Amino acid sequence: MRQPSPTAYSRLQIRLHWLVFALLVLQYLLHEPITEAFDMVEEGVASVLSPLVAAHVFGGFLIFVLAGARIYLRMERGVPPLPETDPPLQRMAARVTHLGLYALLIAMPVSGALAWFRGNEAAAEAHEVMRIILLALIALHLGAALYHQFIVKDGLMQRMRRGDPV
Ligand code: HEM
Ligand code: HEM
């Protein structure tokens, strides 16, 4: 039988949310070296595996693992229900956005790995397109969080600040 939804995110869920956020910032800031290295490989010039290229690969791998942990916790422990006060359409938009974010946190590293380790051109193109969709979803997500904080003033942000110990 399914457990009732918790009333708050756990501390671990909150830590993972912000850790993934910090790693994503690094992935976007440090993409130049891997883009250049990938261009060189495509042109047939052997490229050196620099620390910044390795950081992009390792950072992406870490995001993959942490996103997997988040999805597992979501299924095992559950998450607090979306605010009852939100109109149904808004809650539906939140659900779709969250689903899209989780999907891209998995699809970005997978496409990146296929491009880098297999030289798969279609995966490289998908990686490029998805990075823009991911940014758009994050902007939407941030916009929604700010809307709740400053317009609705329902304290939703607190849910990603202090959590349940379990
Ligand atoms: C969530 C994780 C990841 C994010 C957010 C991310 C983000 C990015 C961004 C913003 C670019 C620049 C695209 C461009 O300049 O057009 C890029 C390029 C690239 N990334 Fe990632 N990346 C992630 C994971 C990975 C992983 C795990 C690998 C490899 C194992 C990887 C391999 C590559 C490669 C090969 C490129 C160059 C692609 C090209 O120029 O067509 N990425 N990534
Ligand atoms: C830009 C700064 C960010 C802020 C201020 C923020 C804020 C929040 C808040 C307040 C919630 C709780 C929403 C609720 O309880 O209904 C939340 C949930 C969530 N955030 Fe963020 N977030 C940020 C960045 C990100 C990023 C970069 C991602 C990555 C992909 C992300 C993915 C998610 C997901 C998937 C959920 C839903 C968790 C669940 O219920 O399963 N957030 N965020």
77 pocket-lining for ligand 2 (C-beta < 6 Å): no
Full pLDDT tens readout for the chain, 166 residues: 456 789 999 999 999 999 999 999 999 999 999 999 999 988 888 777 799 999 999 999 999 999 999 999 999 999 999 998 999 999 999 999 999 999 999 999 999 999 999 999 999 999 999 999 999 999 999 999 999 999 999 999 999 998 777 6
123 pocket-lining for ligand 1 (C-beta < 6 Å): no
DSSP track, 110-162: HHHHHHHHH--HHHHHHHHHHHHHHHHHHHHHHHHHHHIIIII---GGGGGTS
User: What is the enclosing helix (H) or strand (E) of 93?
Assistant: helix 88-118
pLDDT of residue 164: 74
Q: From the alpha carbon of 157, which atom of ligand 2 is closest? A: 10
70 pocket-lining for ligand 1 (C-beta < 6 Å): no
123 pocket-lining for ligand 2 (C-beta < 6 Å): no
Q: Which two tokens stand for residue 135?
A: 């940014």
- Cα 122 to ligand 2 centre (Å): 29
CA–CA dist 71, 80 (Å, integer): 14
Q: Locate the domains of the chain by residue range.
A: 11-160
pLDDT of residue 48: 72
pLDDT of residue 4: 78
Cβ–Cβ under 8 Å, residues 88 and 42: no
pLDDT of residue 166: 67
107 pocket-lining for ligand 1 (C-beta < 6 Å): no
